[in-house]
Amino acid sequence: MSVVLEKKATPIRNPFEVAQRQFDIAADALQLEEGIRIKLRVPRRCLTVSVPFELDDGSWRVVQGHRVQHDVSRGPAKGGIRFHPQVTLDEVKALAAWMTWKCGVVNLPYGGAKGGIEVDPKALSMHELERMTRRYTNEIAIIIGPEKDIPAPDVYTDAQVMAWIMDTFTMRQGFASPGVVTGKPISLGGSLGRREATARGCTCAIEEACKHLGLQLQGMTVAIQGYGNAGSIAHDLLHARGAKVVAVSDSRGGIHSARGLDPKAVQAHKQNAGSVVGAPGTDRISNDELLELKVDILIPAALENQITEENAPRIRPKILAEAANGPTTPDADPILHENGVFLIPDILANAGGVTVSYFEWVQDLANYFWTEDEVNQKLETIMRRSFADVVSIAEKNHVHNRTAAYMLGIGRVAEATRLRGLYG
């Protein structure tokens, strides 16, 4: 099978340049007209705000926050908010673009958005975190809302942060507005199954990949880079399906055991020690070493730019499922493909989170809530259908799976853009 591969170029590490390069590859394959290409290549709106808040000792601190809306051709903007010291505007722009294509891949009536604050949340007390979150919400409130832009949790944000955002927005509005965010606590209008959704969607995509490749998931070896919400729950789900997770890692390092890692034991150790490192009966490895382990399934569930043209030749799992956003650079993609790695790209592999966020938003607007079984069943239906759509495009157009996923997502957004035309 011949494969359309991009020409070798200077390595790219800026996340927004990575996102644009991925877009260009798919736009070329789609033969996208110039006007729509120019419009979809850049964000619709970028808001950068100063976020002053009071520390517990009475002093003030000011950090910078961002909210980017990439496209709203298919519906309100949708995307998480992350708190991380390395947040940049270009990173947020890239994440917003990836959300646009992700919503297109799973055919949700959303556009893409993303937010972030350049801060280390681990250095803040709970009260400081709340004051910062509420001030940030007040600053971006002019562009968010249930019909405009719906935030959600991301790196180092959670249901409690979403509750503070919802409450702050509600106080400004003067009436309850649970649909302004998703990923909320269940008691405030959150959806059953939302916490597990990203990992469940990724696991479902892995199951479909195994069927497509004629493999049995039971007994396959797995390595997971990143042990937050997505990584730790993926460990649970894959272990329950008979796969053997032999390595996991977090920001402090990784652990390995050829016998396999029990998810409950690793999670208990991380809860007590603050890291998976040092879990009894394991050997310590680095994050880089984890990526290059000889395993059947590799799940990057951390941050961007983990798999590059430098280490890609040594990364050879049967299946690479990107639970993180942007873990692989464009120059690494053809290397992985040539080495026979079956890629489940991020805009498909981790789309379970935004899919169940959509379910939560629908339930909030209707004031009618579903059972967890209903949520999981609807999620799996969408993930299996979307996987089949991506693989079909890849085979029909002789491209690798990332380009196929981008062709699917961008194609749907481009069609909506054509039909709507230009106002003014």
Q: How far apart are CA 292 and CA 43, in angstroms?
A: 35
**Which of 302, 213, 284, 193 shows the shortest CA–CA distance to 247?**
284
Strands 283-285 and 253-256: antiparallel
Q: How far apart are CA 370 and CA 351, in angstroms?
A: 20
148 labelled ligand-binding: no
78 labelled ligand-binding: yes
232 labelled ligand-binding: no
Single-letter amino acid, residue 186:
I
**CA 60, chain centre distance (Å):** 33
Contacts 24+ apart (CB under 8 A), 384-387: 384/204, 384/208, 386/105, 386/106, 386/107, 386/348, 386/351, 387/204, 387/205, 387/208, 387/209, 387/212, 387/344, 387/348
Q: How far apart are CA 200 and CA 49, in angstroms?
A: 35
Helices marked H in 87-228: 89-105, 126-140, 159-173, 197-213
Task: State the DSSP string of 173-209.
Answer: HTS--GGG-SS--GGGTPPTTSTTHHHHHHHHHHHHH
Q: How far apart are CA 261 and CA 81, in angstroms?
A: 31
8 is annotated as an active-site residue: no
The residue with tokens 């968010």 is: 144
Q: How far apart are CA 362 and CA 142, in angstroms?
A: 22
Helix (H) / strand (E) containing 333: helix 333-338
Residue 336 φ/ψ, nearest 5 degrees:
-60, -45
As a whole number of Å, the end-to-end CA separation of the chain is: 46
251 labelled ligand-binding: no
229 labelled ligand-binding: yes
Q: Which of 39, 93, 114, 264 is catalytic?
A: 114
Residue 228 φ/ψ, nearest 5 degrees:
-85, -145
Give the residue ranges of the annotated binding site for NAD(+). Answer: 198, 229
Give the residue ranges of the annotated binding site. Answer: 78, 102, 198, 229, 357
Give me the active site residues, please.
114
Give the residue ranges of the annotated binding site for substrate. Answer: 78, 102, 357
